[in-house]
Amino acid sequence: MNDRARGIGRFVVWGFAALGLLAAGAVILIAVNILAWHSNARQEPAAVQARAAEELFAVAAVNGLEGTGIDEVVIATQASISRGGMEYSSGGGGRPDERNVILLDKATGTSRRLLPDNSRKIVDRIYLPALATIESAGEADKYEVMADGERVKPPRAYYLLRVEAVDGKSEDVLIGDLKTGRQSVVLSGIDGVDRVWMQSPTRVALLMRQGKALHYRAIEIPELKVVAARPVEIG
């Protein structure tokens, strides 16, 4: 075999050797990647629900209560206010997750919370005048009386809060007097309220649901007690 033939032979051998090394390297690289992928998959933590050590709250709204010198300061979860952003503050967003109401006397600066803590959601808050009306109490702006030949809004005298019950499925109804500060949960564990109206200057009435049935309740506010309870038959 001449030198040229031997050179060609060595070149072919080296070529195959190089190809073998490249193939072996590729196999090793693939194996390393597969092992690394499996290793990362094993190390990825299982999904868990984190429980925050402390929930943040913020002022969702401040509203004057007609004829009282009192502002209601609505407290909601900060997260729900952030989701609503400017839309909520301008009245275009969804209702925030309200958790408490603070009544602030604008003349003295004294204040009081209506709920003992911020653990339960407020379903609805209604302020009532001390007069009989056929309008729904939830439509407070429709309350008007004649004074000096003009139609004006009467002072708010009472408040009614629908609050999510501890079980998270039903509601409690809290009623109180703005002037005296006396309040009490007068209904517990009901399914919901469809209508609220003032039956007299001291008595509020409700159409409510409980046990898949409609009921009528009347509450005398000074005594903070139910004085009338009747089923509403629907056939």
Q: In what order do the strands lie in the sheet with 70-77?
A: 57-65, 70-77, 98-105, 111-113
Could you tell me the two tokens for 113?
């919370």
- pLDDT (0 to 100) of residue 38: 46
Secondary structure in 3-state letters for 190-202: ECEEEEEEEEECC
CA 181 from centre of chain:
26
pLDDT surpasses 60 at 4: no
What is the chain's mean pLDDT, rounded? 78
pTM: 0.70
pLDDT surpasses 90 at 46: no
- pLDDT (0 to 100) of residue 14: 52
pLDDT surpasses 60 at 105: yes
Tens of pLDDT, residue by residue over 213-225, are: 999 999 999 999 9
86 sits in which H/E element: helix 78-89
What percent of the chain is predicted at pLDDT more than 70? 66
C-alpha to C-alpha distance for 80 and 96, rounded to whole angstroms: 5
C-alpha to C-alpha distance for 145 and 35, rounded to whole angstroms: 80
Using DSSP, state whether 201 is helix, strand or coil: coil
- pLDDT (0 to 100) of residue 134: 62
Domain boundaries, the chain: 54-119, 122-235
Using the Cα atoms of residue 11, residue 14, residue 18 and residue 24 in order, give the sign of their dihedral.
positive
Using DSSP, state whether 10 is helix, strand or coil: helix
Average of per-residue pLDDT across 96-122: 97
Tens of pLDDT, residue by residue over 14-36, are: 544 444 544 444 444 444 444 44
Q: Are 216 and 207 a contacting pair, CB within 8 Å?
A: yes
Could you tell me the two tokens for 105?
């006397």
Q: Are 66 and 153 a contacting pair, CB within 8 Å?
A: yes
Q: SS3 helix, strand, coil % of the chain, rounded to 5?
A: 25, 40, 35
C-alpha to C-alpha distance for 126 and 162, rounded to whole angstroms: 9
Tens of pLDDT, residue by residue over 141-184, are: 555 655 567 777 789 999 999 999 988 899 999 999 999 999 99
pLDDT surpasses 80 at 49: no
- pLDDT (0 to 100) of residue 143: 57
Measured between alpha carbons, how far is residue 65 from residues 120, 209, 216 in Å? Answer: 23, 29, 28
| Longest Cα separation, the chain | 129
Q: Which residue did the predictor score with more confidence, 182 or 82?
A: 182
Residue 173's nearest CA partner among 192, 157, 187, 190 is 187
Using the Cα atoms of residue 66, residue 124, residue 143 and residue 177 in order, give the sign of their dihedral.
negative
Report residue 39's pLDDT band, with 50, 70 and 90 as the boundaries: very low
Could you tell me the two tokens for 35?
């092992």
Residue 152 neighbours by CB distance under 10 Å: 13
pLDDT surpasses 50 at 192: yes
- pLDDT (0 to 100) of residue 89: 46
